[in-house]
A and B are shown apart, each in its own frame.
Chain A
């Protein structure tokens, strides 16, 4: 019976993913990762979590615990474009906080100092801005990833250029 109605990830696809990882170490993690990846909106809905819990016979609370524990999992729909600013030590030392402030100014949001809200999606759902603890590209800090392309040695000017390129491309 098709229980996932109107879901971005169909029951078929989900079964395929589960079949791939069933019985292997890290089964739940890998399943959640791939399911989120297959969703064009890049998130895990409550529905999908419930379905995975049922098919893998893992208690829902445990699935929910894993989905909320790891920062990689999104429980809300993500914007079309992703901007990830690295906040690792080398990047911070070379001024990535200023870049984050620049992005805040461009997209109109203010970061809270206690870091409670770790990601921000623009109201028009076009951009999601997140931070990552470290990309591992430390020799070329500061580093910003936009739509999964990693840019290195980024300064304010470069950042403006890259973002405006992305914004322009979105106009058909």
Chain B
């Protein structure tokens, strides 16, 4: 092959890229094929041949957007390329059909490509289809810079002529015909390219050392042993564009004087091996590989060696040993491979992606390369964005881009209702980076600065359901298993660290273990022979640094909040329930027709079963295993049914009497609880049963707090709460109402009269909106309106009301005043999907025809002449990028509108009314919440404990009750000097039968009042389960708590 012949081939085969007839390109990487791309390809083939169509069909590599596979591109001469995603057989038929009729098939259409820069050439497809977003406007692709992935998805990886047609092997020709080897090395040096395998060593320096070696035989090696779990960039690079790798190695071999090369590819990548073999074969046939390449007397041959499943062989000396037919055990360096490598000869080993950057550097010049990325880390890097993220796939960004761009802008956040917790970078050698550090740029140095590493580019996103202790243990297990065993710190150290971590996940850990882990980690890091051992402690050390509280919870409370460490909880539902209700227990008891026992079991865990069964956020359902089959089990609805049934039959008194009889003997200790809301009532329930004398104070006139004075009757009828408060009174708790802390109830007096005080005053102070007109006549606080209505009064509102806010208070207020006949509009600055209120509340409010004004930010309350509200001026908002709460930021547009109204209700959040506590020098947070020790629940005054919304800010009733339950145990422990809480529970014996063949089916849904029967009254909307529904629903439980 002569250099001029390549130019001729390029011109001749340009038609492969820009044919004169339509062409269909099907992405056939391993991911694509795994999702049915080969079937789609066959479909197209059949359609084209059966209909004798003059269309070309081509297989390509992967365009990078793995979540949307199979991807198909449609090329039409003179028009932009159309990119379709998640294509199936039906789509294939419709694409061909529409193409024949010259119509645009809009289904599954993702984006268009007007022109493409292959870097070795540029191509213009055409203009048009402006209503379809351009590929770089799609969130996943926006901001990406395709350097290494310049051809991927657009050419046929098994066709060298495609590669040449887009300008491939031009760089090689330039080099062989015009550069001296030292000049090539210079270019690579100037580009400041750094090794893309993870260590980031300057490639130019490595090459320079090799080039200067004067001995005979030299080798170049491609390290394609991509063993990092979670990383598959190299696989895609080889599968989609193997010639890019070959060209890079050829250029490198020429520069360094190597005549032989080896590509070490892991065996788990059969398609990559196949495509590389094909590429080598084709290159040999064209005389671009082998003897006398391009007639310039340059010889180079390339062999492929397949790995056999050893992660450590990614380390260069181990890799060399592996090729030499030995076990892959690293050797001390020096000597470095550039001195003594394969078979004792100078060897240069580079990662796949490093080699792939070389042709571009030659083609566009080293200076061009340095304009991308940062000063110390020029160029781009391909990352694999995977895990709990919406848009998974391969992302190529300039080095120095921030983590948040990857996770939120390109990845789109979790894509579910769960929150992002951390990103794990760098594979098993890397670290876990928490949300707070997401503004860190991604490059070699910045990530190392926070204790992580960039590594080969794997990025695994984790959400609130991932336990970081388990993550550390997972990586440790991986590293321990892959250790070659040669050096003691790695072999013994990792095994011991793994044993310690395993014990912690089983609830058998101690704080001494944490100290040992840190010590061990340091020793292993400092004294291991190779990078596997040296970096293996990173996952432990970073999780200990950033997620220490999770370790502490596992050790101190034997609790795994995320619900991963199975020895620490009974079932996922029970673990997620703030009260840790034994849900499988009461479900099984109902299955066995033992309703009283089921109710008693429930009551012991949750003193307000009827109330909570109506208003809870149902944390249990968010983790129910049944969801993997069809829908979660309605655990909360079931315990509501239990309470309602028992109350209806009047049977609850028997159980109440039982509990009264069981009270532990009087301790003589006196406890005051301030606040009769869910937290206060729960604390009272447990403390009085433990034998203490309990008095509950409340500022309002009745017990219940938010459940009595904040939640409307149509969600929670007064009678239910009254019944449940009766139990607490029966147990001997004294109530003193109309006593407000700081007014007629003083903390200092309480401290003198009682041994311990528990503050559960909730969060009742409305947050100010701070807009002009806030103090006008006709402006009300949301919680104030609800309180008034709960006390039986009718608030003095006008007829046209605007409510600002979209949480539960806003919706409760809206639906309540709707029932008074008012015209209601809810004004919210974000969109419906962002509303923090319960989904059920939102949909019911829509049924009741409450009006919504979204993307509207309140700007001013406009008053009329009498000083009374006349209208609400809002500024229209547009959707910005995703912020750390996972929602799109509202962006001001400068366009204003006025909503006519005569009353405005503010419901934008509540704060704790802690003014009087501040005067008592109690430690508070910046926004007024009470600070407590997370394990003892004590405030800065050891005699005073606190819990509920007063500590956490507005949260859920169940969470407040959960905190109070644990606080009661802590208070009792402190007063009595020992653990007595378990004495309040009793054994319930029930069967442990696991349904073996569960039939998929939807959950039971309780009957609700139709809209017309409920909009003008406050009757309870949900009728709860019937007996039959309850019995059917319990059968759906998979009893995943049963362990064998």
Binding site for B on A (CB under 8 A): 24-30, 32-33, 58, 62, 65-66, 69-73, 87-94, 110, 113-115, 118, 132-141, 143, 150-152, 155-157
Complex CA distance for A91 and B912, rounded to whole angstroms: 43
- Taking A25-B324, A70-B308, A152-B31 as known contacts, 8 extra A-B pairs with beta carbons closer than 8 A to each other, sorted by chain A number, are A26-B264, A29-B305, A90-B230, A94-B388, A118-B481, A133-B478, A136-B268, A136-B269
Q: Is the CB of A72 within 8 A of B628?
A: no
* Cβ < 8 Å to A, chain B residues 392-432: 392-394, 424, 427-428
Q: Is the CB of A139 within 8 A of B67?
A: yes
Asked whether B310 is an interface residue with its Cβ less than 8 Å from the other chain, the reply is yes
Specify which of B305, B324, B394, B482 is in contact with A30 (CB 8 Å cutoff). B305
Write out the residue numbers on chain B whose beta carbons fall within 8 Å of the beta carbon of A69: 310, 327-328, 484
Specify which of A72, A113, A150 is in contact with B308 (CB 8 Å cutoff). A72
Nearest chain B CB to A103 CB, angstrom units = 14
Asked whether B331 is an interface residue with its Cβ less than 8 Å from the other chain, the reply is no
Q: Is the CB of A26 within 8 A of B305?
A: yes
Interface centre among A26, A118, A138, A139 (most CB of B within 10 A): A139
Binding site for A on B (CB under 8 A): 30-31, 34-35, 66-67, 69, 226-232, 235, 260, 262, 264, 267-269, 303, 305-311, 322-328, 342, 384, 386-388, 392-394, 424, 427-428, 458, 460-462, 466, 471, 474-475, 477-478, 481-482, 484, 498-499, 502, 628-629, 1000, 1044
Please, which residue of chain A has its CB at the minimum distance from the CB of B268?
Answer: A135
Complex CA distance for A148 and B839, rounded to whole angstroms: 43
Nearest chain A CB to B392 CB, angstrom units = 4
Specify which of B66, B226, B323 is in contact with A140 (CB 8 Å cutoff). B66
Write out the residue numbers on chain A whose beta carbons fall within 8 Å of the beta carbon of B629: 156-157
Q: Is the CB of B305 within 8 A of A136?
A: no
Write out the residue numbers on chain B whose beta carbons fall within 8 Å of the beta carbon of A135: 268
Q: Is the CB of B327 within 8 A of A66?
A: yes
Nearest chain B CB to A151 CB, angstrom units = 7
Known contacts: A136-B226, A136-B269, A141-B386. The answer to whether A115 contacts B309 by CB under 8 A is no
Q: Is the CB of A152 within 8 A of B35?
A: yes
> Can you name 18 A-B residue pairings with CB atoms under 8 Å?
A26-B303, A69-B327, A70-B308, A89-B424, A90-B229, A90-B386, A93-B460, A110-B1044, A115-B481, A132-B268, A134-B229, A138-B231, A139-B66, A139-B384, A139-B392, A140-B31, A140-B66, A140-B69
Q: Is the CB of B474 within 8 A of A151?
A: no
Complex CA distance for A139 and B308, rounded to whole angstroms: 23
Write out the residue numbers on chain B whose beta carbons fall within 8 Å of the beta carbon of A114: 498-499, 502
Complex CA distance for A143 and B66, rounded to whole angstroms: 14
Please, which residue of chain A has its CB at the minimum distance from the CB of B310?
Answer: A70
Nearest chain B CB to A50 CB, angstrom units = 16
Q: Is the CB of B267 within 8 A of A72?
A: yes
Write out the residue numbers on chain A whose beta carbons fall within 8 Å of the beta carbon of B311: 133
Please, which residue of chain A has its CB at the minimum distance from the CB of B994?
Answer: A105
Complex CA distance for A155 and B502, rounded to whole angstroms: 26
Q: Is the CB of B309 within 8 A of A25?
A: no
Q: Is the CB of B229 within 8 A of A25?
A: no
Write out the residue numbers on chain B whose beta carbons fall within 8 Å of the beta carbon of A151: 34
Complex CA distance for A28 and B67, rounded to whole angstroms: 39
Interface centre among B34, B306, B322 (most CB of A within 10 A): B34
Please, which residue of chain B has its CB at the minimum distance from the CB of A24?
Answer: B303
Complex CA distance for A62 and B307, rounded to whole angstroms: 17
Write out the residue numbers on chain B whose beta carbons fall within 8 Å of the beta carbon of A33: 267, 306, 308
Nearest chain A CB to B622 CB, angstrom units = 15
Write out the residue numbers on chain B whose beta carbons fall within 8 Å of the beta carbon of A133: 227, 229, 309, 311, 478, 482
Please, which residue of chain B has its CB at the minimum distance from the CB of A139?
Answer: B66
Pairs of residues from A and B, 6 with the lowest C-beta to C-beta distance, nearest first: A26-B305, A139-B66, A88-B229, A28-B325, A70-B308, A136-B232
Nearest chain A CB to B790 CB, angstrom units = 44
Complex CA distance for A27 and B466, rounded to whole angstroms: 43
Nearest chain B CB to A105 CB, angstrom units = 8
Complex CA distance for A71 and B342, rounded to whole angstroms: 23
Write out the residue numbers on chain B whose beta carbons fall within 8 Å of the beta carbon of A139: 31, 66-67, 232, 384, 386, 392-394
Please, which residue of chain B has its CB at the minimum distance from the CB of A58?
Answer: B325
Nearest chain A CB to B406 CB, angstrom units = 14
Complex CA distance for A135 and B232, rounded to whole angstroms: 8
Known contacts: A87-B229, A113-B502. The answer to whether A65 contacts B327 by CB under 8 A is yes
Interface centre among B226, B230, B393 (most CB of A within 10 A): B230
Q: Is the CB of A156 within 8 A of B226?
A: no
Known contacts: A25-B303, A138-B230, A140-B31. The answer to whether A62 contacts B460 by CB under 8 A is no
Write out the residue numbers on chain A whose beta carbons fall within 8 Å of the beta carbon of B230: 88-90, 134, 138
Complex CA distance for A135 and B499, rounded to whole angstroms: 27
Specify which of B303, B460, B471, B478 is in contact with A90 (CB 8 Å cutoff). B460
Write out the residue numbers on chain A whose beta carbons fall within 8 Å of the beta carbon of B31: 137, 139-140, 152
Complex CA distance for A69 and B326, rounded to whole angstroms: 9
Write out the residue numbers on chain B whose beta carbons fall within 8 Å of the beta carbon of A70: 307-310, 327-328
Complex CA distance for A53 and B414, rounded to whole angstroms: 53
Q: Is the CB of A140 within 8 A of B392?
A: yes
Please, which residue of chain A has its CB at the minimum distance from the CB of B567?
Answer: A113
Complex CA distance for A73 and B307, rounded to whole angstroms: 11
Complex CA distance for A89 and B457, rounded to whole angstroms: 13
Complex CA distance for A90 and B385, rounded to whole angstroms: 9
Q: Is the CB of B34 within 8 A of A25?
A: no
Complex CA distance for A19 and B305, rounded to whole angstroms: 16
Write out the residue numbers on chain A whose beta carbons fall within 8 Å of the beta carbon of B30: 136-137, 150
Complex CA distance for A51 and B31, rounded to whole angstroms: 39
Q: Is the CB of B35 within 8 A of A138?
A: no
Please, which residue of chain B has its CB at the minimum distance from the CB of A34?
Answer: B306
Complex CA distance for A71 and B267, rounded to whole angstroms: 11
Complex CA distance for A132 and B392, rounded to whole angstroms: 21
Please, which residue of chain A has its CB at the minimum distance from the CB of B997?
Answer: A160
Nearest chain A CB to B486 CB, angstrom units = 11
Please, which residue of chain A has its CB at the minimum distance from the CB of B322?
Answer: A29
Please, which residue of chain B has its CB at the minimum distance from the CB of A131?
Answer: B481
Q: Is the CB of B262 within 8 A of A150?
A: no
Q: Is the CB of B342 within 8 A of A25?
A: yes
Write out the residue numbers on chain A whose beta carbons fall within 8 Å of the beta carbon of B1044: 110
Known contacts: A25-B342, A89-B460. The answer to whether A65 contacts B306 by CB under 8 A is no
Interface centre among A29, A32, A135, A141 (most CB of B within 10 A): A29
Specify which of B235, B326, B428 is in contact with A66 (CB 8 Å cutoff). B326
Specify which of A65, A134, A138, A152 is in contact with B268 (CB 8 Å cutoff). A134
Known contacts: A70-B310, A138-B232, A140-B34. The answer to whether A93 contacts B628 by CB under 8 A is no
Nearest chain A CB to B70 CB, angstrom units = 12
Please, which residue of chain A has its CB at the minimum distance from the CB of B221?
Answer: A25
Complex CA distance for A134 and B631, rounded to whole angstroms: 31
Nearest chain B CB to A77 CB, angstrom units = 18
Q: Is the CB of B323 within 8 A of A26?
A: yes
Please, which residue of chain A has its CB at the minimum distance from the CB of B226?
Answer: A136
Q: Is the CB of B262 within 8 A of A26?
A: yes
Write out the residue numbers on chain B whose beta carbons fall within 8 Å of the beta carbon of A88: 229-230
Please, which residue of chain A has its CB at the minimum distance from the CB of B320?
Answer: A25
Q: Is the CB of A27 within 8 A of B460?
A: no
Complex CA distance for A162 and B462, rounded to whole angstroms: 28
Write out the residue numbers on chain B whose beta carbons fall within 8 Å of the beta carbon of A91: 229
Known contacts: A89-B387, A89-B427, A94-B387. The answer to whether A66 contacts B229 by CB under 8 A is no
Q: Is the CB of B388 within 8 A of A89?
A: no
Nearest chain A CB to B431 CB, angstrom units = 13
Please, which residue of chain A has its CB at the minimum distance from the CB of B343?
Answer: A25
Please, which residue of chain A has its CB at the minimum distance from the CB of B272?
Answer: A136
Known contacts: A33-B306, A139-B67, A140-B35. The answer to whether A66 contacts B325 by CB under 8 A is yes
Write out the residue numbers on chain A whose beta carbons fall within 8 Å of the beta carbon of B308: 29, 32-33, 70-73
Write out the residue numbers on chain B whose beta carbons fall within 8 Å of the beta carbon of A90: 229-230, 386-387, 460
Nearest chain B CB to A63 CB, angstrom units = 9
Q: Is the CB of A72 within 8 A of B309?
A: yes
Q: Is the CB of B327 within 8 A of A26?
A: no
Interface centre among A28, A71, A138 (most CB of B within 10 A): A138
Specify which of A66, A110, A138, A156 is in contact with B386 (CB 8 Å cutoff). A138
Q: Is the CB of B628 within 8 A of A155?
A: yes
